[in-house]
Each structure stands twice: as C-alpha cells, then as structure tokens.
Amino acid sequence: MNTLLIVAGKELREATRNRWVVATTLLMAALALTLSFLGSIPTGTVGVGPVEVTIVSLSSLTIFLLPLIALLLSFDAVVGEIDRGTMTLLLSYPVARWQLLLGKFLGHAAVIALATVVGYGAAGVALAMGNTAIGPESWRAFASMIGSSVMLGAAFTALGYLASTIVRDRGTAAGIAVAVWLGFVLLYDMALLGILASGSGLGVEALNWLLLANPADAYRLFNLTGFKGVSAFAGTAGLAAHVQLSVPLLLAVMAGWIAAPLALAAALFSRKQI
Amino acid sequence: MTDFTAEVQGVTKRYGETEAVRGVDLTLAPGECVAMVGHNGAGKSSLIKLMLGLTTPTEGRIRVLGGDPASAACSHIRRQIGFLPENVAFHPNMTGRETLDFYARLKGAPRRGNDALFEKVGLEPAAIKRRVSTYSKGMRQRLALAQSLLGGPKLLFLDEPTTGLDPALRQSFYAIVAELRDQGTTILLCSHALTELEGQADRVVVMNRGRKVADGSLATLRSLAQLPVRIRLTLPTDDIDALAARVGEGAALTRLAGGVVELACANDDKVGLVRRITCDGPTVADIEIVQPSLDEMYAHFLRREAAE
C-alpha cells in the first residue's frame, strides 16, 4: 500500500511540474464556465434550471474532451518509461510490477480528478452565485456529473495504460490511443445509429448491451437519463423510459471499464520482458 | 549452503531466435570486485538483468543473496542490491534531492543518509536543488551512483559506470568502489574502458557473443594468454644492427617513431633479455617494459574464440 502511494505521489508531482495539471484544469474550467454562462442566458421562463442546461452541454462536451486528455496523459506511461530507460532502474527496486502500474495509474487518475473537480467546480460556484435559485436535486445531478466524469477519465486512462503496455514503441501506443478515442467516442455511436436506422430489427435488449459495451455511452446514459430534470431537457426522456439500465448498473459498468483494462495491463506488464 | 553472493549456473537466455546468454557459469564472492568485459551485445547487460530478476533464464539456475531474484518474494533480496544501469535516465522534472528521496523511499532506506551520499559522490548542494533535466552527463552519473548506494547494498551491479565521466571523477569513482569492496560489498563492473579496470578488479570475466570465454585474475589471464611482453628502448645512436645481433632469435624487433626500438619477447625471457642488452650492449638512453594490457588480452581471447 505504501509503495503504491509513493509511486502515485511521484507521478502526481511530475504531472504538476509538467504543467499538465494546470493546463488541464484551466481548459476544463474555461469550458465549464463558458457553457454555464451560455446556459444561464435563455432560461427563466422555460422552466429549466441553469444547472440542468449546464449538465447537458457540459457532459456532452466531456464525452469528447476528457477521454482525449486521459489518453494523451496515459499512452506514454509504460512504453515511455521503458523507452527512456527509467523502467529498468525502477524495476530493480523492491517494487512489484503491479504495484508500479497501479501506483502510476492512481497518480494519473488523481490528475484527471483534480482537473475535473476544480474545473467543473468553478462552474458550479459561478452558477451558485447567479440569481436563479437552485434546488438540492439539481446540485445532486451536478455532483454526479463531476463524479462520473472522473470515472470516465479514469476508464480511458486505464485503456491508455493497456495500449501503453501492449506495444513496444511509443508511436504505436499513440496510434492505438487515437484509435481508441475515435472508436469509442465517435465511430461507435455512428455505427450503432446506422444499425438502428437500417432497420435490422435490433432489440431493446441488444441495444442495452451495446450501449454498455462503451464507457462513453454508459457515461452519457448516466448523466442524461439518470436525473429527471436533466432528461426532460436533454430530449432523452423518451429514451430514459425505454432504456432499462439502472443507475447502479451504469456505475458498475463504468467501474468495470476502469478495472478490466487495468487488470489486463497489469497481467501483461508482469509478463513483459524489459 | 554456499558463501557466494551470487551464483549463476549454466544459464541461457533466448529472446526469440537470438541467444543473448549461452551456458554461462559465474560466481561472485563477498568483498570481490569482478570486471566483466565484452563488446556491445556480448551479453553483459543481459546477464545483469537476469541477476536482477528483471528477466528469467530460459535454462539454468540463478541464486542471488540466497534466493531466486525473479521470485515473488524477492523484495528483501532487491533491498540489498544496488544497480547503476547503462545509459541511466531519471525523471527530468524532479530535482536531484527529490529523485534520491523517491528511490530511498522505494527501497525503504532512511532518507537521513541522503546528504552524506550526495557528498560522497560529489554533487554540490546547489546542484541537488536543480531539476535533473539541467544536469550534465557527469552529474547524472553521480546521481545514478548515489541511488545505487542507497541502503548500503551487499551486491552492486555497475553497468558502464564511467562513461561520460572526466578523469578526475573516474578516480574518485574507483575510490568509492574500492572503499565499498573493503567493506565486503560484492561488485560486478561492466566496462569497455579496459585500461582503467587494471588495478581495480580482483577478477576479470571476458564475455563474447553470450559466452564466457575467460575468467580469472589479471595475472592468471596474462599467463593464459601468453602474450609477448614488449621492451621499448630509446637509443642515442642509430646502431640497430648491433642491438639486433645482441638480442638474437628470442625476440622480434621493430622500429618505432622517435628513435625508439621495440622488442617483443615471451614473459619468461624478459629478464634475460634485459640483462643482455643493458650489461654489455650499446648504450641505451631509456628503457620501458610494457606488459600486455587488458585490451590486448581481451582481443586475444576473442581471436582465440573466433578461431575455435
């Protein structure tokens, strides 16, 4: 346990030095603030709170942005250290390989968590200082959005680690990271839409499973259908009625998307010849 | 039960088709400084990685400090091992102090001793506060040496430790190595710079294409190699014929630049030859006896290996 924290702490400190933390946090805060200000303009008579508007727009943006940041941060984690020669030295220390991998992951996940919580939290503060009264239900939805965003980031960080462990050179790892992003974030939904539109008679059951097979979709469903106020505005109320995926199930799936790639990466890493 | 710090028995390591290490036997005793020499790709680094437990042997058995270095319960073994890798790299954005602190924590070594370590390897207090990315090659190497000495290791692997060091630093580096050896630390040193190993190593192991081709003290290797000793004479006159007549059949004579004549003879003939030349021969202005260097012996063993 101690070793994990030592490795994670070092990773976090390095990320701070690299300005990764600062840059990511600023980016997140800038986007979140812009969206929350935009979101608070047209409301008032529509009956939708500014928080709900912000959640819909922000979570839609998060799906594109956060996986990209997470993958950029993590694709180099293992293969880069092997390439630079720091890995050989690290492994000659009394550290198990899984400890090293998990420790580094915790450090990177902490970077994502920090950036998301501070960045989106800033938007929350801005909303709270606005004129409109905001109910506790809205705040719960907002907090859930931040929490699930951290999970989404962690899931793609884990996928980045897997890419970084499988291959032998950094270029390939970067390529895989881009492919993962394109596949899960852009192409997957298009393909799904295509299948549905072609009228292939895909059942609701099958659709549910296909949505769970993608962490980005699990995140989208969690945020857009999990809370009534949000789903009414997001235009997904109809979908929410049909999709029989409960909130705990969606959370469990996202947790699985963190644990499974990480476990696979750890297994591969411990067999890897350095 | 053996007293050896490390024991390698019939170890072979294959990476796919290529054999990096082929049937190597090697033992390292406490308080011994062993030099391992060989070309790039001779299997030196592969052997060290095997002994560190970073890779596992395809065949054979390795025991380090009484255990298997690649086993799951190797933490207590690794805590007693220091390692200075070839082309050492550190995380560039950490300062020297942070780097050593990090490695000390990983090794479970008290961080109190870090200042003493910095002093020992000659890193200035001003340099310790700077980031590693600003370090020169020499400073990086000093930091690398400092981390390898963390926790007072019983076994020290130094892979090309003096590349990029200036001569003064090399001296202080070997002083540290000698001090450790006297304290009972086993040291395995890999190097290309063979000349500087003379007088440092108790034993020399010559590696070639994954095989151990020679193993013994410098004197043993010398007598095994039977390389000629060279006697260099500076003559005041150009009277080489008289000298050649006196030298006789036992030695080969070559002329070098600057009026220097070199005689090559077997080690056993050396004393007699010098007596014949100096006692009643032509006047000699200067005399120099050159023993075969480690470089030459190394080349000899490789030639012999190639001939077989």
In a domain, B138, yes or no: no
Q: Does residue A131 carry a pLDDT above 60?
A: yes
In a domain, B1, yes or no: no
Q: How many domains does chain B have?
A: 2
| pTM: predicted TM-score of the whole model, two decimal places | 0.85
Tokens for A243, please give them.
Answer: 């999709």
Shortest CB distance from B54 goes to which of A14, A88, A96?
A88
pLDDT tier at B1, thresholds 50, 70, 90 = very low
In a domain, B135, yes or no: no
In a domain, B308, yes or no: no
Half-sphere exposure of B69 (CA within 13 A, CB side): 28
Residue of B nearest to A3 (CA): B106
Q: Which of B172, B199, B223 is the last residue of a domain?
A: B223
Mean per-residue pLDDT, B186-190: 92
Shortest CB distance from B78 goes to which of A92, A273, A274?
A92
Is the Cβ of B29 closer than 8 Å to some Cβ of chain A? Answer: no
In a domain, B48, yes or no: yes
Average pLDDT over all residues of chain B: 86
Q: Does residue A235 carry a pLDDT above 80?
A: no
Half-sphere exposure of A253 (CA within 13 A, CB side): 21
Q: Does residue A244 carry a pLDDT above 70?
A: no
Q: How far is B68 from chain A (nearest CA, A)?
A: 14
* B285 and B164 within one domain: no
* B208 and B255 within one domain: no
* B214 and B277 within one domain: no
* B232 and B218 within one domain: no
Residue of B nearest to A269 (CA): B54
Mean per-residue pLDDT, B258-282: 79
In a domain, B104, yes or no: no
- B104 vs B73, residue with greater confidence: B104
Is the Cβ of B200 closer than 8 Å to some Cβ of chain A? Answer: no
Look up the CATH number of the domain holding residue B262.
3.30.70.980
* B197 and B169 within one domain: yes
Residue of A nearest to B45 (CA): A88
Average pLDDT over all residues of chain A: 86
Task: Kindly determine whether residue A274 and residue B87, on different chains, have CB atoms separated by under 8 Å.
Answer: no
* B242 and B210 within one domain: no
Mean per-residue pLDDT, A22-48: 76
Range of the domain at B167: 6-80+153-223
pLDDT tier at A174, thresholds 50, 70, 90 = very high
Shortest CB distance from A273 goes to which of B15, B89, B90?
B15
* B70 and B188 within one domain: yes
In a domain, B95, yes or no: no
ipTM of the complex: 0.84
Residue of B nearest to A91 (CA): B54
Look up the CATH number of the domain holding residue B60.
3.40.50.300
Chain B residue numbers touching A3 (CB-CB < 8 A) = 106
- B100 vs A201, residue with greater confidence: B100
Chain A residue numbers touching B85 (CB-CB < 8 A) = 85, 88-89, 92
pLDDT tier at A40, thresholds 50, 70, 90 = low
Q: Which of B190, B223, B256 is the last residue of a domain?
A: B223
Is the Cβ of B79 closer than 8 Å to some Cβ of chain A? Answer: yes
Q: Are A231 and A224 in contact (CB under 8 A)?
A: yes
* B26 and B11 within one domain: yes
Q: Are A49 and A134 in contact (CB under 8 A)?
A: yes
Q: What is the pLDDT of residue A229?
A: 66
Task: Kindly determine whether residue A94 and residue B87, on different chains, have CB atoms separated by under 8 Å.
Answer: no
| The three-state (H, E, C) secondary structure of chain B, written as one string | CCCCCEEEEEEEEEECCEEEEEEEEEEECCCCEEEEECCCCCCHHHHHHHHHCCCCCCEEEEEECCECCCCCCCHHHHCCEEEECCCCCCCCCCEHHHHHHHHHHHHCCCHHHHHHHHHHHCCCHHHHCCEHHHCCHHHHHHHHHHHHCCCCCCEEEEECCCCCCCHHHHHHHHHHHHHHHHCCCEEEEEECCCHHHCCCCCEEEEEECCEEEEEECHHHHHHHHCCCEEEEEECCCCCHHHHHHHHHHHCEEEEECCCEEEEEECHHHHHHHHHHHHHHCCCCCEEEEECCCHHHHHHHHHHHHHHC
Q: What is the residue extent of each domain of chain A?
A: 2-271
